[in-house]
Structure 1
Amino acid sequence: MQDRNLSEELKFQFKHGGMHIKLIFVNVLVFALIMLLALIGRTTDQEVLFNTILDKGFTLQTNLRDLAFAPYGLITSIFSHFSVLHFLFNMIFLYFAGNMFRQFFSDRRLLHVYIVGGIAGGIAEVIARQFMGQYPAVLGASGSIMALFIAIAVYRPNIQLNLLGIIPLKLYVFALIYLGSELIQMTQIDGIAHFAHLGGALIGFLSVQNIHSSSNIINWTESLQQRVLGFFSGRKRKGPKLKAQKGGRVAKTDEEYNMEAKAKQQKIDKILDKISKSGYESLTKAEKDFLFSQSNK
C-alpha cells in the first residue's frame, strides 16, 4: 500500500473515490464555508448580516413568497448543514448508502438520484408546510441520502446488515422501520424535515422502477442533462447513438442501445445473485472483472 500524506490522500480519494466521496467533499467545503461565515459574524459587529446571508443563501425557504426570491435554495440546501452532529450523521449515512449504491449503479446515476431526491424532498416539505401553516427554513442532505438508501432497499431488499454490529437485519426491514418512524413523527414539531425525507424516499423508489425505460425518472433526467449540455456546447445530438467499430463509426439505433443496456443489466443481476448465494469469492475472474468495469462507469 502506497504511503501518502494527508493532502495526497485527499486528492487521491477525490479523484478515485467515487461520486459519493465527491459529494462528501462538496458537503465538507460548504459546511466549512458556513462555519467561517458564522465565525466572522460572531466576531464582528455584523452578526445579523451574516446570519441573514446564511439563512437566505444556504437554506430552503418554505414560505412561498420567500421561496420566490430564493429558488436556488432547492439546490444549496441539500449540501448545507448548520450543526456538527447533523453534518456528521448525514456524511456517515451518505458514505454507506453511496457505497452500496455504487455496487449496482453508475456514479452518474448516483449523482442524479442525490440531486433529484434532494429537490423532490424540498418540494415535498414546501407543499406540506402550506397545509401546516408553519414555514421553517429547511436544510441538509437527508432527503438526497434517503433517495439513495431507498433505491437500494427496493432494488436489492435482501442485502443483510448487522445493526449495531450484532443484529442481522434485511435491508428492506431496516428501510420499513425507518420509513415507519418518519410517518409517525411527520406531524410533530421536532425541527426535523420529515416530509423532505419522504419526498426523497419516493424518488428512490421511482428511480428503480422500469429501470431500462426512457420514462424512468432518473433516465429522463440524464437524457435532459445531455440535451441541455449539447445545447450550450453547440453540439446538440440530432442522430441516433453511435458505437465505434473498426474502420469507422456505425450508427446504433435506440432499440439496439436499449437492448444492449438490458442485457448488460441482466448479466450484472445474475452476478449479484451469485454473490448473495455463494459470496464474492465464488465469482470467476471474468465475472469479477466485468463487475468492476461496470461499477466504474
Structure 2
Amino acid sequence: MRNSILSDLKYKVFKSGNPLYLFIAINVGVFLFLNFLLLFEFLFSYQGVVSGPVREQIIMPADPILFILKPWTLFTYMFTQQEFFHLLFNMLWLFWLGQIFLDFLNSRQFIFTYICGGLAGGLIFLLLYNFIPVFSNEAQFSFLLGASASVSAIVVGTATLLPDYTIRMLFFGNVKLKYLALVFIVLDLIGIAGANPGGSLSHLGGALFGFLYVRGLQRGSDWSRAFAKKRRKKPIMRVVPKEETPPNKPAHRVPDQEYIDTILDKISQYGYDKLTKEEKEALFKASKQDQN
C-alpha cells in the first residue's frame, strides 16, 4: 500500500504534467528540508548553525543592499514556508482555486500567474518598504517568505475569470469567488497596519497581478505567450506521383499548422464550444491528416 501511495504521488508530481501538484510538492519539500535541519540542530545542540545561513539564502530581504547581493531570493521566497499553518493554508487555497483555474485555462497560464504573481508581490514589498517612511526604518530588519503572493494571484485571477463561480465552504455554505476575493483583499488592506505589513503588501501585489493578467486574457491579450514553446516545423521531402483530382471529388485544403495552433489556443482559453463552424471543420481536417 505504501508503494502504491508513493507511486501515485510520484506520478502526480513528475509525470502528470499538472503544475499544481509540482508547485505544492516544491513548497512542501522546502518546508520539510528546513524543519529537518532544525530538528537535527536541536538534537545535536547546533541551533541555527546550518538552518540560519540556509534560510538567509532563500528568503527575500527588504534592505536593497542585501537584495542586490541575493537577487535570486525574489524567486526562492515564494516557495519558502517554515511554519506548518502558514504552509497548510497556502497549499489548501492553492489546491482549491488552482484546480478551478486549470479547468478553464492551461498549464502555461497557471505557471505564469503563480511565478509572476510572486514576483509582483516581492517587488511591491521591496519598493514600498524603501519608499514609504513608516516602513523604511524597518527595511534592514524585514524579510519576506511564503507562497501567499502567488496564491493571491491565483485566487484573484480565478475570481476575475469566473466571478459567479460558487464553491461550498465550511460554516459559510455556498460562496461566489468574487466575494471570496473581496474578503482576501479587504483583510490584506487591514493587515497593512497589523503585525505583518510586508506580507499584506506582497499579497496585494500578487492579487493585482492576477487581476490584470486575467483582464488582459479577457481582452484577447495573453502575456504568457512570450514563454510558449515555438514548434519547429521539420521539412519533409518526398517524391510522389502526380495525381489528378477526380472530377466528382473536390480537393480539400489542409489547414496550416499556425492556424491549427491558433484554434488550439482558443480552445484552451474559451473551450471547444466557442469555435466557429469553419474552425471546427479545420480541426477535423487536420486530425484526419494526422491519422493518414
Pick the TM interval, shorter chain. 0.7 to 0.9
Q: Secondary structure at 1:39's aligned position in 2?
A: helix
What is the 5 A alignment of 1:35-74? 35-44=35-44, 46-74=46-74
Aligned 8 A contact 1:101 1:148 in 2: yes
Q: Give 1:154's aligned residue.
A: 160
2:179 pairs with 1:180: no
What residue identity is the alignment partner of 1:90? N
AA matched with 2:31: F
Q: 1:164 to 1:215 in 2, by over 3 A?
A: same
Cα offset for 1:184? 1.9
Task: Specify the SS of the correspondent of 1:11.
Answer: helix
1:259 CA drift (Å): 6.1
Deviation at residue 103 of structure 1 after TM alignment: 0.6
Query: Counterparts in 2 of 1:179-218, with a 5 A limit?
Result: 179-190=185-196, 193-211=199-217, 216-218=222-224
Alignment partner, residue 137 of structure 1: 143
Pair 1:54–1:157, CA change in 2 (3 A): same
The total of aligned residue pairs comes to 255
- Distance verdict in 2 for CA 1:267–1:33, change over 3 Å: closer
What do residues 191-222 of structure 1 show as CA deviations (whole Å, max 9, x unaligned)? Answer: 660011011111111221232778543333x2
Shift in CA distance, 57/268, structure 1 to aligned 2, threshold 3 Å:
farther
Aligned partner of 1:261 among 237, 261, 265:
265
**1:114 positional shift:** 0.8
Q: CA deviation at 1:42?
A: 2.9
- Which shows bigger deviation, 209-218 or 132-141? 209-218
Does structure 2 conserve the Cα–Cα contact (< 8 Å) formed by 1:113 and 1:144?
yes
SS at the partner of 1:71?
A: coil
1:11 aligns with 2:10: yes
- Counterparts in 2 of 1:262 and 1:6: CA distance versus 1, 3 Å: closer
Is 2:80 the partner of 1:80?
yes
Query: Counterpart amino acid of 1:211?
Result: L
State TM-score, norm by structure 1: 0.74
CA distance 1:192–1:44, change in 2 (3 Å): farther
Q: Distance in 2 between matches of 1:17 and 1:92?
A: 20
Q: 2:163 touches 2:177 (CA, 8 Å); kept in 1?
A: yes
Unpaired stretches in structure 2, ≥5 consecutive residues: 240-253, 276-292
Q: Which has the larger displacement, 177-186 or 161-170?
A: 161-170
The CA distance in 2 between the partners of 1:54 and 1:141, in whole Å, is: 18
The answer (yes or no) to whether the contact 1:243–1:250 under 8 Å persists in 2 is no
Q: Does the Cα contact within 8 Å between 2:104 and 2:270 map onto a contact in 1?
A: no
Tell me how far apart the structure 2 counterparts of residues 138 and 95 of structure 1 sit (CA, whole Å): 22
CA contact (8 A) 1:158 1:172 kept: yes
Deviates more, 1:56-65 or 1:258-267: 258-267
Partner of 2:92: 92
CA distance in 1, matches of 2:70, 2:158: 32
Task: For 2:63, give the aligned amino acid.
Answer: N
User: 1:238-257 counterparts in 2 under 5 A?
Assistant: 252=257, 257=261
**2:154 touches 2:210 (CA, 8 Å); kept in 1?**
yes
> Shift in Å at residue 45 of structure 1?
5.3
Cα 1:192–1:65 shift into 2, 3 Å: closer
**1:241/1:258 Cα in 2 relative to 1: closer, same or farther (>3 Å)?**
farther
Structure 2 CA distance for partners of 1:202 and 1:243, relative to 1, 3 Å: farther
